[in-house]
Structure 1
Amino acid sequence: MEIAVIDYKGGNVQSVLFALERLGCRPTLTADPEAIRRADKIIFPGEGEAASAMRELRAQGLDVLLPTLTQPFLGVCLGMQLLGTHSEENDATMLGILPFEVKRFPALPEYKVPHMGWNTLQRLRSPLFAGLGAEDYVYFVHSYYAPVGDYTIAEAKYPAPFSAAVQHKNFYAVQFHTEKSGPVGTRILENFLKL
């Protein structure tokens, strides 16, 4: 199975590559459109800032390519947010694959921003979460979030519910870091590879 991990010069993707290698995969880190188009599965990891990431995607022509992909696709953290239409983070126009606008968490005394650390998933509704339940924890690091909508396949609360995972056709994405979420994250990656 060919797995392409999209390289858009954003954040640390090494932990995603290591997580896939631990599962026996040989992923390819690439920005080459032909390699991405040819892959059986696509993983779109992300750390960093939305406007810069979109600039890099546009420079490589990936903003045009990614919405046309038909194979199973998994966005992670910023890789999820970039699937939306717009982000409050530096007023960025996104890929528009999913109909959400990314919002900044409100500044509240009892809730620090960024939302960083372990949190539970709720209202799981996808084969991506097979074998998992509402008591399972995953690791988040983010200041921006996608609101809950028809596209939401898992929720978390901080302090109000937000989309912890989304789906549209072959596009799946999670706000948390699968590669940093221990056995739960490993199970989600395994489930994705079986889609």
Structure 2
Amino acid sequence: MKLSIIRYNAGNIQSVSFALERLGVDFTITDDPEQISSADKVLFPGVGEASTTMNYLRNKGLDKVILGLKQPVLGICLGMQLMCRHSEENNTDCLGIFDETVKQFIPKGDMKVPHMGWNQLKLSNGWMDPALQNKNVYFVHSFYVPVNPHTSAVTEYINPFSAAMRKDNFYAVQFHPEKSAEAGELVLKTFLRS
């Protein structure tokens, strides 16, 4: 299996790489459209800011490459948010795979922003392994995707939000599977089997 990780100005490629190495998976980190398009599976990770990242993707032509992919693609954290139509983060137009607007958390009581830490998954329809029901996974984010028809798992922090989504060949998680211990490994394995 050929797995490509899309290289752009994202901060968590290293930890994703370590997680895949632990699973014994070979992969290439690349921003080459041909390598990405010819891969069997594609990972679209991300830690960073939406508008800067979208500008980078557009300048490299990677926005069109991602939209044209027919193989399974997994967006992680910012990667998931950029798959949406728009983000409130610096009023950014994104890829539009999911017709959703990414919203900013508004702090409430002692619930601070960014949302950082372990929270429980509640699976709804979708692609995630049933063993992940009620499992805790690791989040770090200030923006979220509301619950929508493509939501595969919901987490509650300040309000319910999409912890995972799927539409056609596009899979996405808001949490960091590479930092979520056994539950995160199961998410990566499930995607790699898709």
Q: Shorter chain as normaliser: what TM range?
A: over 0.9
TM-score after normalising by structure 1: 0.97
- Give the aligned partner of residue 47 of structure 1: 47
Alignment of 1:69-88 (within 5 A): 69-88=69-88
What amino acid sits opposite 2:158 in the alignment? P
Q: Which moved more, 1:38-47 or 1:107-116?
A: 107-116
Alignment of 1:1-195 (within 5 A): 1-134=1-134, 136-195=135-194
* Number of residue equivalences: 194
Displacement of 1:108 in angstroms is: 1.6
Displacement of 1:142 in angstroms is: 0.1
Equivalent position SS for 1:85: strand
Equivalent position SS for 1:155: strand
Distance in 2 of aligned mates of 1:161 and 1:129: 20
Distance in 2 of aligned mates of 1:130 and 1:36: 30
Displaced runs of 4+ in structure 1, greater than 4 A?
none
Identity value in percent: 52
Q: Deviations over 1:79-120 (max 9, x none)?
A: 000000110101111001111100000122221000000000
Report the RMSD for the aligned CA atoms in angstroms: 0.9
Gaps of 5+ in 1: none
Equivalent position SS for 1:86: strand
Q: Deviations over 1:128-182 (max 9, x none)?
A: 3243222x10000000000001010100001211000111100000000000000
C-alpha contact 2:127 2:152 (8 A) present in aligned 1: no
Equivalent position SS for 1:90: coil
Distance in 2 of aligned mates of 1:161 and 1:148: 7
TM-score after normalising by structure 2: 0.97
What amino acid sits opposite 1:181 in the alignment? S
Select the structure that is richer in strand. 2
C-alpha contact 1:11 1:46 (8 A) present in aligned 2: yes
